[in-house]
């Protein structure tokens, strides 16, 4: 038996939606303009954060970068950017550009050669033959002299730009025993000092003071007990 033909059903036809080329190009141009304005704005905000950091208000400088996000809403119209073409993706993208650019500019401005706000760092000290060999800040080490009248101190000292001086002060019994400059060994960040004229059964308080080229200082002290 022959099948009956279906009546009243038209064949399906797919129509490609019209592409608004002009609208698309305008949106892309507005997006590019917004990105350029955002970068310039981020640099200006980074300068403000940098200025606040210089006067000791680093936390306020960090807060400024986030609060400044709200200013983009008013900055774009002043720059001739049509906000009617902005959707949430454009807002989110430009907000991310601002935060990343602001933070990058801020970090660059806080580091040499623009500005040096970080003091030198004395990472640790060591007394070969002592127990323990490596000493932390404020620590102590027991050192058997075995008839020797001197011992060596090693320390790892670094700075983000340039060290000018690394001094060693040795005190015993509450009075200064000796002060002198540590010598760079040429190995990594290692500096050395020879403490001479030492005696058995004494506790020597050693203080390392490092200074960089802009005057920042840091100190590191520990005790060496001889036996």
At 46-61, the pLDDT tens digits run 999 999 988 888 899 9
Q: Both 104 and 154 in a single domain?
A: no
Beta-carbon contacts of 82 under 8 Å, excluding residues fewer than 6 positions away, are 26, 30
- Across 94-114, b (16+ Cβ under 10 Å) vs e yields beebbbebbbebbeebbeeee
Of 189, 192, 186, give the one whose Cα is nearest residue 208: 192
At 147-174, the pLDDT tens digits run 899 999 999 999 888 888 999 999 988 7
The residues that bridge with 179 in the sheet, in sequence order, are 169
Is residue 10 one of the residues assigned to a domain? Answer: no
Q: Both 104 and 157 in a single domain?
A: no
Q: How far apart are CA 98 and CA 104, in angstroms?
A: 10
At 16-32, the pLDDT tens digits run 566 556 566 767 777 78
Q: Both 128 and 202 in a single domain?
A: yes
pLDDT-wise least confident of 17-26, 88-97, 124-133, 145-154: 17-26
Is residue 72 one of the residues assigned to a domain? Answer: yes
The residue range of the domain holding 54 is: 21-109
CA distances from 113 to 37, 67, 117, 133 (A): 26, 28, 11, 37
Is residue 74 one of the residues assigned to a domain? Answer: yes
Check: CB of residue 49 under 8 Å from CB of residue 102.
Answer: yes
Paired tokens of 180 = 């002198």
Last residue of a domain, one of 75, 109, 143: 109
């Amino acid at each position: 038996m022959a099948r009956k033909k279906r009546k009243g059903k038209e064949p399906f036809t797919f129509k490609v939606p019209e592409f608004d080329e002009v609208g698309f190009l305008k949106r892309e141009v507005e997006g590019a303009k917004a990105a350029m304005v955002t970068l310039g704005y981020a640099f200006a905000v980074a300068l403000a954060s940098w200025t606040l950091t210089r006067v000791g208000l680093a936390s306020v400088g960090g807060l400024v970068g986030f609060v400044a996000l709200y200013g983009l809403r008013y900055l774009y119209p002043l720059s001739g950017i049509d906000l009617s073409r902005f959707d949430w993706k454009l807002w989110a993208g430009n907000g991310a550009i601002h935060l990343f650019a602001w933070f990058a500019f801020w970090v660059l401005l806080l580091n040499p050669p623009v500005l040096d706000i970080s003091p030198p760092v004395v990472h640790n000290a060591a007394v070969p033959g002592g127990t323990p060999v490596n000493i932390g800040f404020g620590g102590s080490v027991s050192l058997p002299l075995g008839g020797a009248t001197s011992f060596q101190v090693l320390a790892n000292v670094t700075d983000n730009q340039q060290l000018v001086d690394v001094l060693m002060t040795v005190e015993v019994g509450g009075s200064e025993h000796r002060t002198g400059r540590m010598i760079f060994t040429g190995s990594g960040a290692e500096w050395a000092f020879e403490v001479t004229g030492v005696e058995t059964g004494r506790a020597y308080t050693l203080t390392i003071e490092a200074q960089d080229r802009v005057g920042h200082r840091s100190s590191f002290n520990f005790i060496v007990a001889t036996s």
